[in-house]
Structure 1
Amino acid sequence: MNLLLAEDDALLADALQQQLLNASFKVEWAENGAVAEYLLRKQDFDVAILDLGLPLVDGLTVLKRVREAGRTVPILVLTALDALEHRVAGLQAGADDYLTKPFDFPELEARLHALMRRGRPASQSQQLRRLTLDRAARRASVGGEPLELSPREWTLLDLLVNERDRVVTKPQIVAAWGSEDSAGGSIEVYIHRLRKKLEGSGLAVRTVRGLGYLLEATATPS
C-alpha cells in the first residue's frame, strides 16, 4: 500500500510515518506543496494524505492541479482548518475525504482503507473456499445455499473478504457501516452472528486481541 504523506510539520510527519509503517503502508514524505504536486503527477500511489497549509504551493492548489491533470488517486485532506467553508472548498477542489487535527490514528487508518476500497473496483462475483459473494445483488451463499444477511452483516462480510489476510479494526467496521455508533458490544454481536452463518464455508472470523478481526481459512470442510 503506497502512500504519499504531504505534511510540513516534521515532528507530526515523523510520528505519522512510524504509525503508517506499523500499519503496513509504504510511505513517501513530501515536506512542501511543490514536491507533493510533482510526486502525485509522476508516481502512482494507492492513497495520499494532504495538508492544506503547505509551503511553496498550498494544499488546495495542489489538489486542483492534480485533478486537472487527470490524476485519480484517493486523497484525504488532513488539516487544522475545520470551518465549514474550508471543508467545502477542499471537497470541491477534489478531496475524497477531510479529517481535521487533532485526530486519532485508528480513525485516520480506517478512512484510508475506506478510500482505497472505493478506489479499486471489486469483482462483482467472488468465490472464497465454499463462500460465494454476488456484490451486484448483495447476496452471499455457502455451498450454493443462500445466507440470510442483514445489511450490516453483508457489509461486514464484504469488508472482511476484501481485507482478507489483514486485520480489520473496529473503526474500519464503523466507517464501512457509515455509522457514528462505535459501541464495541454491537460489533461483537454482528461478528458472533456472522461466525455462525459461515459454519461449513471453510472460513472463520478470528479475533486478534487488541486489534480487530481476521478472516482466515479453516480445515477443508467435508
Structure 2
Amino acid sequence: MLKKLTVYDMQGKKIGEIDSLFNGKVHPALMAQAVQMYLANKRCGLASTKTRGEVSGGGKKPWRQKGTGRARAGSIRSPLWRHGGVVFGPHPRNFHYGLSPKIRNAALLSALNEKNNQELILVLDKIALPQAKSKELKKLLDGLKIKEKVLFIFNKMQEDFQKAARNIPTVAMAMASGLNALDVLKAKKIVFSRDALDFIAGRLKPIP
C-alpha cells in the first residue's frame, strides 16, 4: 500500500494529505556508499609524525662503531630509540573522493524512502514564524509533537527560522538543492516545506 504524506499548518493541525514521492525501494548499499563518502570528505587528515630525518638532533654518531662493547648506533633519533623518529607513521593526506550525481541522488531518494516507510516525513503547507524567536519555533515543534532530532528542508533560505533555531540543538536545517543522504539519515524526523518538496520532486527520479 502506497503511503501518503500528511500536510500540517503552522499550528500543527492536519489540513490534508498528498501522494508521497518516496514509495520506492530502499537500497542500503547505495546509502552506505554515500554516507562513507560524505564522512570521508569531512576528514581533515592532519595526523602527522616525524621520521628519523625530520626529528631535531641526531646528527652525531653517539659512540664509535667498534670497541665499546655496545651495539652499534648511528643516530640518537633512530626509530629504535626513545625520542626517535616514527616508522611508517601517519602524514597529512587528503581523504576526499566523489561519487557520480546519479549515485548521490539515488542514495538520497533511498534514504527518503526509508524515512517514508517509517512514517517520519511531514509536510508544512507554509513556514512563516511570527517572530524570529526560539519560543515560536518551540510552539511549532510542540504542535507537531516533535521531540526528537528534526531536519527542516526549505527551498529558499529562511533567516527568521535560522535565528529561531540557534538555541535548539535538536533542530537542523537544509536547502532542498543541497540535501544529501547523510543529512536525512542523521535526523529522526524530516519536515519539508511545500515548495521544497516540489523542488525535490523535480530533482530526484525513482530508483528502478
Please state which band the TM-score falls in when normalised by the shorter chain: under 0.3
Larger radius of gyration: 2
Larger strand share, 1 or 2: 1
TM-score, normalization by structure 1: 0.26
Structure with the larger RCO, 1 or 2 (CA within 8 Å, 6+ apart):
2
TM-score, normalization by structure 2: 0.28
